[in-house]
Amino acid sequence: MLTPFQGRFITAAAACMVAAMPLAPAARAQSTQPNEKAVRLAPGEVDLRPRFRVGDELKYVMTLENDGSTQIPPLEPSSQTSRQQIEFRLKTISTDSEKGSVVELIYDSLRVSLEAGDQKVEFDSRKQSPARKQNQKPARATDPDPLGEPADPAESLTDALAPIAGSKLTLTIDPDGTITQVTGGSELAAALVGRYAGPIADPQGVKDLFGPIFSLRKAKPSAAPGEKWQHVDRLEFPMLGKLRLTTDYTLKSASRGKATVDFRGTMDLDTETGVQDQSIKLKDTRYEGSYIWDTEAGALDSMQQVQKFTLDGEMQGATVKITSNGRVKIERQRR
């Protein structure tokens, strides 16, 4: 059965996997006036900056997959599998080279599959009937997150995730590409939505998830093939507090308007900023992957990443060992 603990673990694992995405530059949002200042390129260098133009839209499909196991003696070990596929658009509302940009994030569709033990529940927003959507009870921030096992997990999953498809968030992005504010999406505030949807329904989660798409992750806005750089992120991680991600990047190649960047990194608890639970250890961490950047359009073309980690120690008075193997894939959809 899909217990509350397992549900929260799947959400936490997905949140970690998503938040850890070490994208360097990313999605373009465009403007009728170039939002960026001119950059002088050295011979062989390519421009890795995103571009913003008012009214332009980019469409992406993001796939998050995770296989994990949970050991809580004396209970039998259990395995969990989750898969999320999110179709979303990024539309630039305004942009200014000095003040930054405002981008609208629209969730077009969402598919979720969760397996734990012998139970599997699924949700697909595209298969919802018009009547079901019309009669859907609006989510509220005061809706409870039940501690007991729901009578019908599939129904609970549908009720939780139905408000997401079609919802819109407004992202305020500073000139450096950092998301400074997330507004809108009041229908995503219910506890159940956060339990099953993870970071896509939480303002800070949205910053961690989509922030790297706009952030350059580099001291200068250009690079030449073979060039390397490093970036350190400090992010909140459920159950653990602060997580430090150290990522090494290499521009492998650049030709015909496409730049390929490989990355490899490690995760560890950021003891400098404090950890909520010192009894939990983060072990065997690894993530690596690559992305393709469209240098002509100023947009992320695609990205893929694999990631693994183990949590080992005491949690809520019990001895636990949780392993997670995740995969992230983002693809730009062309009309």
Condensed to tens digits (0 to 9), the pLDDT of residues 81-125 reads 999 999 999 999 999 988 889 999 999 999 999 888 888 889 999
Condensed to tens digits (0 to 9), the pLDDT of residues 210-229 reads 876 776 566 677 899 999 98
Closest CA to 88 of 293, 308, 304, 300: 300
In the structure encoding, which two tokens stand for residue 161, read together? 């995730």
Which whole number is the average pLDDT over 149-176? Answer: 79
Side chain identity, residue 131: A
Would you give the DSSP letter of residue 150? P
Run of H or E residues at 131: helix 130-134
Residue 244 contacts residue 266 (beta carbons within 8 Å): no
Condensed to tens digits (0 to 9), the pLDDT of residues 235-266 reads 776 666 777 888 899 999 999 999 999 999 98
Residue 216 contacts residue 28 (beta carbons within 8 Å): no
- What are the structural domain ranges in the chain? 4-330
Would you give the DSSP letter of residue 194? H
4-330 sits in which CATH class? mainly beta
